[in-house]
A and B are shown apart, each in its own frame.
Chain A
Amino acid sequence: MSRKFETIVSEVLEANVNGLKMSGEKMQQTLTDLGVDSLDVMLVLMEIQEKTGVMIPEDQADILQTPAQIAEFLKAND
């Protein structure tokens, strides 16, 4: 199940962040290190919410630093 969310997170990141190609290793890197800026984060989180139906509250959005953490959050709140 977590794999499903990892795939969604990867796909949304690749679709919305110029030049970003995701990999298993990159799932553990911070969004900042991946070149995802603060505005990209808003767009990515919104699209992830739309695709999964899982709401990501404001306080959580600040805590989720890596793609893997986002996928874990989605899994825990699905």
Chain B
Amino acid sequence: MNPLKFHIGIQEIATYIPQTCIDNLEQGKRFDVEESFILEKIGCRSLPRLSEGESVTSACASAYQRLLQKLPVDSQEIECIVVCTQTPDRGGIPHTSALVQAAIGASENCACFDIGLGCSGYVYSLQVVASFMQMHGMKKGLLFTCDPYSRILDADDKNTSLLFGDAATVTLLSDAPRFTSEFVRFSTRGSAADALTKQDGLMHMNGRAVFNFALTDVVKQVSEVIETSGVAKESIDLFLLHQGSRFMIENVIKKIGGIQDRSPVSLGETGNTVSSSLPILLEKVMGDSSINRLLMSGFGVGLSWATAIYSRNEESAA
């Protein structure tokens, strides 16, 4: 099921969390929502927001600046730039990745394209970029995620206003990876597209439909990936699940069973950052040598869901 042996993979990750934040407890008062519900069920005390002067491009460039603080990268050596977003700058014309290419001073000999996926976007995009780079003999590429849903939220809709936060991440994919993919599975149910969609310029979410989807289809896919890959559940050191809401993640973890001590729940200061939620989690464990194998699952808009198992590259661990 996974015939391509990847030698291109994740070398480093950097994130940009905007300094401007909404106090979610204050926001909750406007909707007459109790603090305990916001903290224990939604799980977000604070929601970062891009400021008016910022854009997807500038947020991606800020993430790239943080990447440069971690390791030296010659922007002229970047051969591929991909931006995963559903809220592109200028309505998507031109593609935001072209704007990012200019913003970070990358060479013109650089393939740039956008991927229009939401919460499953990171898992999908990693595979697209790694495959694309590998098949074309590229050595260094950048995958950005940035989806400022704040730009399309209905301020009167508490279901979404209390949930989503803005952030940007950049993942350096290279031929000197620390993690490469072992196994992946992708799924889509376009017939349920209305569960999460933009109508008249604003985000609409059917919370119950999304919740049922997460607790049935995502749980099933995670279990199938483990079973089909032949990887023992016990040998997976970390389960990174899209941070949709605290209540949803905790119940997905409970339903998968036996992974609670290996499944971080961390959205208190970021909210649901769409395709950025997984790289934000992954960045924190990149240097943790006790993590040799991890599973990532992204799920949401589409409906779309994808689950992958990644393992630490032995050479990078040496």
Q: Could you tell me which A residues sit within 8 Å of B by CB distance?
A: 37-39, 42-43, 45-46, 58, 61
Report B-chain residues with C-beta under 8 Å of the C-beta of A38: 207
Q: Could you tell me which B residues sit within 8 Å of A by CB distance?
A: 37, 41, 206-209, 211-212, 215-216, 245, 247, 251
**CB distance A43 to B211 under 8 Å?**
yes
**CB distance B41 to A61 under 8 Å?**
no
**CB distance B211 to A46 under 8 Å?**
yes
User: Shortest Cβ distance from A16 into chain B, in angstroms?
Assistant: 9
User: Shortest Cβ distance from A34 into chain B, in angstroms?
Assistant: 15
How many inter-chain residue pairs (CB < 8 Å) link A and B?
A: 26
**CB distance B207 to A42 under 8 Å?**
yes
Report B-chain residues with C-beta under 8 Å of the C-beta of A46: 211-212, 215-216
Q: Which residue of B lies closest to A16 (CB)?
A: B251
Report A-chain residues with C-beta under 8 Å of the C-beta of B208: 42, 45, 58, 61
> Could you tell me the distance between the alpha carbons of A38 and B34 in the complex, rounded to whole angstroms?
12
Cross-chain contact of B211 among A37, A42, A58 (Cβ < 8 A): A42
Besides the contacts A37-B37, A39-B245, A43-B215, what 4 more A-B pairs have beta carbons closer than 8 Å? Answer: A38-B207, A39-B207, A42-B208, A46-B212
Q: Which residue of A lies closest to B251 (CB)?
A: A43
Binding site secondary structure of chain B:
helix
Among B206, B208, B211, B212, the one with the most A-chain Cβ atoms within 10 Å of its Cβ is B208
**CB distance A39 to B41 under 8 Å?**
yes
User: Shortest Cβ distance from B246 into chain A, in angstroms?
Assistant: 9
> Could you tell me the distance between the alpha carbons of A61 and B209 in the complex, rounded to whole angstroms?
12
Q: Which residue of A lies closest to B215 (CB)?
A: A46
Report B-chain residues with C-beta under 8 Å of the C-beta of A42: 207-208, 211-212
Report B-chain residues with C-beta under 8 Å of the C-beta of A37: 37, 41
> Could you tell me the distance between the alpha carbons of A37 and B245 in the complex, rounded to whole angstroms?
15
Q: Which residue of A lies closest to B211 (CB)?
A: A42
Q: Which residue of B lies closest to A38 (CB)?
A: B207
Report B-chain residues with C-beta under 8 Å of the C-beta of A43: 211, 215, 247, 251
> Could you tell me the distance between the alpha carbons of A61 and B207 in the complex, rounded to whole angstroms?
12
Q: Which residue of A lies closest to B34 (CB)?
A: A37
> Could you tell me the distance between the alpha carbons of A45 and B215 in the complex, rounded to whole angstroms?
12
> Could you tell me the distance between the alpha carbons of A43 and B216 in the complex, rounded to whole angstroms?
11
> Could you tell me the distance between the alpha carbons of A61 and B206 in the complex, rounded to whole angstroms?
13
> Could you tell me the distance between the alpha carbons of A38 and B41 in the complex, rounded to whole angstroms?
10
> Could you tell me the distance between the alpha carbons of A46 and B215 in the complex, rounded to whole angstroms?
9
**CB distance B247 to A39 under 8 Å?**
yes
Could you list some 11 contacts between A and B, CB below 8 A? Answer: A37-B37, A39-B37, A39-B41, A39-B211, A42-B207, A43-B247, A45-B208, A46-B215, A46-B216, A58-B209, A61-B208
